[in-house]
Amino acid sequence: MLNGQLKPGYNFQISTNNQYIVNYSLHQTTADTTTSQEHTEIYKEQYNHIPDVITADAGYGSEQNYQYLCENKIENYVKYNYFDKDQSGKADKSHPFKADTLYYNSEDDYYVCPMGQQMQNTGAHQTKTKTGFIQTIRSYQATNCNGCPLRGVCHKSKGPRVIEVNHTLNKYKEKVRENLNSEQGIYHRKKRPCDVEPVFANIKNNHHFKRFMLRGKPKAEVEAGLLALAHNLRKKAA
């Protein structure tokens, strides 16, 4: 818990449409990222079809989730980390020499450092996320950074600069950035906070639901279902 106490806790996820709860799920994890696929599969089991469109904030943007959305042909309006900063230009100002800002030659597979030096591919390795998802990371290294006037602000390592890049994730980001900046994407971005956030506010503040009364996930899921049902009935009656 936030106060340091150890108690049974659940990550309560909901999907909404016009502020009606259409799907809910409980997860024993603090990270929203790892709840997305299971939450969507629960929706699929209940309605016998996959959602056509999913809109979510940056807490759900990951390579694993983007791959899932792509494989299931779901229209994707899920932000990635730093999307808002990228839009405002703040990310580039705070990290002017980060790997994302460097020019990449996809044909010959090399990056160009701020001083115009080519950074060649030195190999790839795989990493595994907490959920067991395998990511492929490629490394690129500058030939020689000695005497470079930008070295102090470009990197702090003793040898030549090395950057690690996840090309698959970058391709997903490029596509989702295009989706989010489209006319339809702007519509979904504006609608999301007005659709789902008031539901949580209504449940927690107006109806004073602060904690689950029942112990154990199966019982808590029943309680969450009754909570969602009550919310929808109140809204219908309003």
Q: What is the pLDDT of residues 132-160, one digit of tens each?
A: 999 999 999 998 888 888 888 888 888 89
Which residue, 219, 216, 235, is CA-closest to 8? 216
Contacts of 177 (CB under 8 A, 6+ apart): 80, 83, 86
Angstrom distance (rounded) from CA 35 to CA 65: 10
Q: Is the pTM of this model over 0.85?
A: yes
Structure-model confidence comparison of residues 152 and 24, the more confident one? 24
Q: Domains, the chain, ranges and CATH? A: 11-84+174-237 (3.30.420), 96-166 (no CATH)
Statement: residue 31 has pLDDT above 90: no
* pLDDT per position as a tens digit, 201-236: 999 999 899 888 888 899 999 999 999 999 999 999
Cβ contact 77:180 at 8 Å: yes
Least confident of 173-177, 190-194, 195-199, 207-211: 207-211
Residue 43 identity: Y
